[in-house]
A and B are shown apart, each in its own frame.
Chain A
Amino acid sequence: MSHQEIKFYQTGTFTVGNRLLEPDQRSVQASMERTNSLNSGHRACQGCGEALGARYAIDAAMRATGNQLIAANATGCLEVFSTPYPETSWQVPWIHSLFGNTAAVATGIAAAMKIKRQKGDRRDVRVIAQGGDGGTTDIGFGCLSGMWERNDDVLYICYDNEAYMNTGVQRSSATPPAARTATTMPVGPEPGNVFGQGKNVPRIAMAHGIPYVATATVADLRDLEYKVTKAMSVRGARYIHIFVPCPLGWGAASHDTVKLARLAKESGLFPVFEAEYGEVTGVSKIRRPVPVEEYLKPQRRYAHLFGKQPHVETIAKIQAIADANIRRYGLLEAGAH
């Protein structure tokens, strides 16, 4: 993709920074002056992918806007762990909305900023709305769709950890097939979440024809920062869907957060791409292809697939989803197997 152009420096641009890079080639996260928008002391679990993704995204947006930023935040883990009254970890103007209306709240803030500018305020304050997958794909979906179709000047960021983690790991419409949650127990002939349901919100966003839609993961910081920065350079409704592993809800080791995000992308299960006005304009190619088992096995939410009698057919169906993504987005380099 467009950011991997750095001349070979041992790690190229795969790592967060590199002492050999020119300062303007370094990531926001490599900077000693990064804003740390989500500061230390928050109560997220060990190895929280959402806390990491939120700091990556908001720090990048802060740099892109010259710190002229307001964030609206749906109810969910991100809100609960960052802001237990009267403490907050946010170092950015931040407002907590209801679970379902953060897109509408952000729309209102954006409208207010527009009026202020019309009345002579020279500051160009930009607005971000953010929430988890529950607040985005289920509860807040009506407000979000409205924000898109009106093309309101808001960047909405969904941190997708594939279930309602804050309330005890219940299924959301972003929960993948076969995954165990508190409400999709591994019992019966087809254990875990059912196949064939759920919402692909990035594609629904594209169907609204909005200026910018992108997906990203916490395993590729450069790509994530590039997309947030690009989104902030555009006016109108924008949507970024960030894949953030949840050690607690997925039953994964806390140190595997970034690795799982990487495997989700490398297996093809989570396609990383960007789209403008409904058309895909770029995809992150798979660098080291892996079968889906490598991604599934370290997670206890899939443990029932790998017992004494592995669910070979179920694993094959998950592999088929990955293969379909690889075909649909062209995730493999020409010549790769």
Chain B
Amino acid sequence: MDKPFAITLDPGSSLANKTGSWRTFKPVYLDRLPPCNNQCPAGEDIQGWLFHAESGNYEAAWRHLTRDNPFPAIMGRVCYHTCEGACNRGRVDEPVGINSVERFLGDEALKKGWKFAPPAAESGKHVLVVGAGPSGMSAAYQLRRLGHRVTVYEAGPMTGGMMRFGIPKYRLPREVLDAEMQRILDLGVTLKLDTKVDNLLAAMQAGGFDAAFLAVGAHIAKRAFIPAGDSARVLDAVAVLRSMENEDKPMLGRRVVVYGGGNTAIDVARTAKRLGAEPLIVYRRTRDKMPAHDFEVEEALQEGVMVKWLSTIKQAGGADGTSITIEKMELDANGHPQPTGELETLEADTLVLALGQDVDLGLLNGVPGLEIRDGTVQVDRNMMTGYAGIFAGGDMVPAERNVTVAIGHGKKAARNIDAWLRGGSYAPAPKHELAAFEKLNPWYYSDAPKTVRPMLDIIRRQSTFDEVQGGLDESNALFEARRCLSCGNCFECDNCYGVCPDNAVIKLGPGKRFQFNYDYCKGCGVCVSECPCGAIKMVAEDI
């Protein structure tokens, strides 16, 4: 070959020089577990559905969300959203308003009439679900989607369980509850209302069921011994809230004293306020010790609910039945309330006890092998009771009692029932490592404060059962979704592709993420440092 003067080698591209051989560590892409997902008792893939919502594809977001939870419109209202407490964005400015976006998606689905896809194939198995509350209906939904025939026996006259009989309308409008329940029934789930199961094994045999999921909830009000005069009017909180669903509203009188410090006590007091009464909560410890969520306490106080902290009820129903006697308490060195002997008499037409609830385990009579402890049924980690094929969840098993946990139980039980019916056992996918804040590079996220949901004005909150908290509209729901940091999961920001000094990152195109070109990657680690969401890590090479 003729070469120019003094040139002896062919010119060529540096691509012949495989600089990847310099490397001692290599970057690898991975998905880490976002803290919100890790926290969610219902096991939602929050980051996953926000990813779709960020691009404005709300239907895809809703479908992704409802893989784990069929009630986004309900949960967008009543979930205590501990996910937001775990949100890494809280370390940047404020947590992402996950709950408000969830509600937006749920409402959007109801508005647009989105339906669940029917199961691809029928399994031929028939599963009994006892209780049409959040846990039971969550299980019914998941089981139906897995192809099983599902029949739900509900002792009450309506679906919803504690979501209907325990959560007031001003927090959960009934048309929302009804619509999300109906959507599950539309999937082909059979519902039998006013059907109380007294003997489970007999009911299963009579109906030809292959397995059962029990989620009867905790509806029996706990009592405390309080000396009461003959004319004292003492009610329990569950009964008061339940009667709100009937035509005849409860007769509470003007002065209503609520005894207890949980969310139910707050719900009753706020309900009484809306019925025109003057509610007073009596609680034996201090506000910071209250089991109720602080935002609910705050909303109640705003609405004019009065609270007597550090007080117990000594006597209900004075001579004429319109007064109660309370005793002041003080906290001892261990923080426990101790009586002081100091008494006070208050006017009270009604005393409502909100001291917690027990489970009616009557249906389990005659079922062998069960373990009952502290009024709850013990289940193994597959949600199965001691009797093969009978599973249980929600408030009737030992766990925190709230709607989100109940929905999670329903899902988990359904997957295990499915596996059990097919003769196997359900193996959940191994959890990814946590996307802790330290794995992120927060520099890259734009400053954006949280979108605050509108609150109903105080006069209407005191006198009507209109929903207190408003929702987001399309524009601010989109904004809120886009505040998500996408912790631990690539959101295709192109940073790794851009910052590599060696062009050793291959961009695969929209939706396909990236790939390393290890022929040239020298292992400098700039991509790992500059990945905003912590979706790359360095691993040692075998050398």
Contacts and interface: CB of A to CB of B under 8 A. Distances in A.
B523 interface: yes
Given A10-B446, A20-B482, A86-B9, A29 B498 contact: yes
B205 interface: no
B492 interface: yes
A254 B23 CA distance: 12
Contacts of A14: 443-446
Contact-residue size bin, chain A (C-beta under 8 Å from the other chain): 35 or more
B524 A29 contact: no
B529 A255 contact: yes
Interface string B499-530: 11111100101110000010110111110111
Interface string B440-469: 000111101000000000000000000000
Given A8-B479, A10-B445, A87 B13 contact: yes
Contact of B502 (A20, A42, A88, A259): A42
Nearest to A50: B501
A306 interface: no
Contact of B510 (A9, A19, A47): A19
Given A52-B501, A258-B526, A259-B529, A88 B14 contact: yes
Interface string B106-121: 0000000000000000
A17 interface: yes
B246 interface: no
A257 B530 CA distance: 10
A85 B9 contact: yes
Nearest to A254: B524
A322 to B, nearest CB: 19
Interface string B407-440: 0000000000000000000000000000000000
B499 A258 contact: yes
Contact-residue size bin, chain B (C-beta under 8 Å from the other chain): 35 or more
A18 B493 CA distance: 4
Nearest to B9: A86
Contacts of A82: 14
Nearest to B519: A40
B55 to A, nearest CB: 6
A304 interface: no
A41 interface: yes
Contacts of A19: 55, 491-493, 510-511
B10 interface: yes
Contacts of A15: 444, 493-495, 498, 532
Contacts of A55: 501, 503
B66 interface: no
B45 to A, nearest CB: 18
Interface of B: 7, 9-19, 22, 54-55, 443-446, 448, 479, 482-486, 491-495, 497-504, 507, 509-511, 517, 519-520, 522-526, 528-530, 532
26 contacts: A10-B484, A11-B444, A11-B493, A14-B444, A15-B494, A15-B532, A16-B499, A17-B498, A18-B494, A26-B494, A32-B507, A38-B503, A39-B503, A40-B15, A40-B520, A41-B14, A41-B16, A41-B19, A47-B526, A86-B9, A255-B525, A255-B526, A257-B526, A258-B499, A258-B526, A259-B530
